[in-house]
Structure 1
Amino acid sequence: MGVNHIVLNVHDIDRSHTFWTDILGFRQVGTLDRTGAGTMRFYAGRGGNHHDIALTQLAAPADSDAATAPSQPALNHVAIEYGDQESWLAQLRRLQAAGVAFQGRINHGTSHSVYVQDPDGHDVEVMYSLPPDQWQGDINAALNHLTVLPRDGDDALADPQTPHF
């Protein structure tokens, strides 16, 4: 069992398309025009799934932000995994070059992450998983480990090691 895909409601599907394709690296694989209900676009990552993310254009976008506080009953964030440290660091450089602000930069005991927001304010975790031998000794301790790192400049691109658990 696992998560197959997520669907995000967006205010401006073209602006969101640019973020999810040009900045995060997904590719558009399909479009559904729903008469009277707006357009839905489908995107796939590097895996073999038919689609991982879908964006739905809101028929009448509200004036308020789409995102809600993490404490409210809503989607908290989407985690996009990169296969290894090298590809993840390349993505962080790409995000910085595109002017995407890092909301948070954290090394967890099981993964290393940077948190950004898409154009509609959805929180996106860009991460890579650490090898199981680093955390499987004490999964609970690893899940509770947190190192907050700089969010700006070259320091945000450093990736210090996480202790073994």
Structure 2
Amino acid sequence: MHYTGINHLALATADMDATIRFWRDLLGMRLVAGLGRPGYRHYFLELSGTDMLAFFEWPNVTPIEPKDHGVPVAGPFAFDHVSIGVRDRNDLWDIRDRLEAAGFWASELIDHGFIFSLYSFDPNNIAIEFSCPVPGVDIRAHPVMADRNPSPVAREGSETQPGKWPAPTPTPFSERRIYPGEGRELVQGEDD
């Protein structure tokens, strides 16, 4: 398998206009695609050459309760925050200045040892972190386990452990089909 990044992270909003104003006009992400019909919109914003943020607009969704980044909760829960990578600390300062000028809360810049981070929230109360690498530190090149009591599975190391799942049976080429779905209308010349 060859992963290329996060194709898109799909989030939800009741106010697509406020969401576009924040992500496109304040933070500078291009709006690259939009799907819609009554009661439904699905828009995509470009993060990088391989990564996008997407928002569904659903009329009855409400902003989530504000929850500070990384603070534990109880009960059903699946998402804490999204961290968006930027080039360097100058980008973090630029984002912080933009957020504050627009009236959004922005944290101080935080040194985590391997990344510098800035924290905020979008208009939907989605917790956002903006992160850049600390110069000279690359945990991807040199994985580190600083947990003093790692789980048994984590003790196995950073690389894929073969034999932990059943071997797949490849789908024969003659059975590989791709079915039409939402979004084909974005491609010029495609009919519904």
In structure 1, the residue matched to 2:45 is 43
Contact 1:39–1:56 (8 Å) recurs in 2: yes
Offset of residue 39 of structure 1: 0.7
Task: Report 1:34-113 matches (<5 A).
Answer: 34-36=37-39, 38-45=40-47, 47-49=48-50, 52-62=52-62, 65-67=63-65, 69=67, 71=73, 72-103=76-107, 105-113=109-117
1:15 counterpart letter in structure 2: A
1:27 to 25, 30, 35: 30
Structure 1: distance between partners of 2:19 and 2:60:
16
2:13 to 7, 10, 15: 10
In structure 1, the residue matched to 2:164 is none
Structure 1 unaligned spans of 5+: 145-165
Offset of residue 34 of structure 1: 4.0
Structure 2 unaligned spans of 5+: 149-192
How many residues align? The count is 138
Q: Where is the strand percentage greater, Structure 1 or Structure 2?
A: 1
Offset of residue 139 of structure 1: 3.1
Structure 2: distance between partners of 1:15 and 1:54:
14
Structure 2: distance between partners of 1:119 and 1:104:
19
* TM-score normalised according to structure 2 size: 0.61
Higher relative CO (CA 8 A, sep ≥ 6), structure 1 or 2?
A: 1
Structure 2: distance between partners of 1:75 and 1:14:
23
Contact 2:92–2:118 (8 Å) recurs in 1: no
After superposition, the CA RMSD in angstroms is 2.7
Q: Where is the helix percentage greater, Structure 1 or Structure 2?
A: 1
* TM-score normalised according to structure 1 size: 0.70
Structure 2: distance between partners of 1:107 and 1:57:
35
2:49 counterpart letter in structure 1: G
2:144 counterpart letter in structure 1: I
Larger CA Rg, structure 1 vs 2: 2
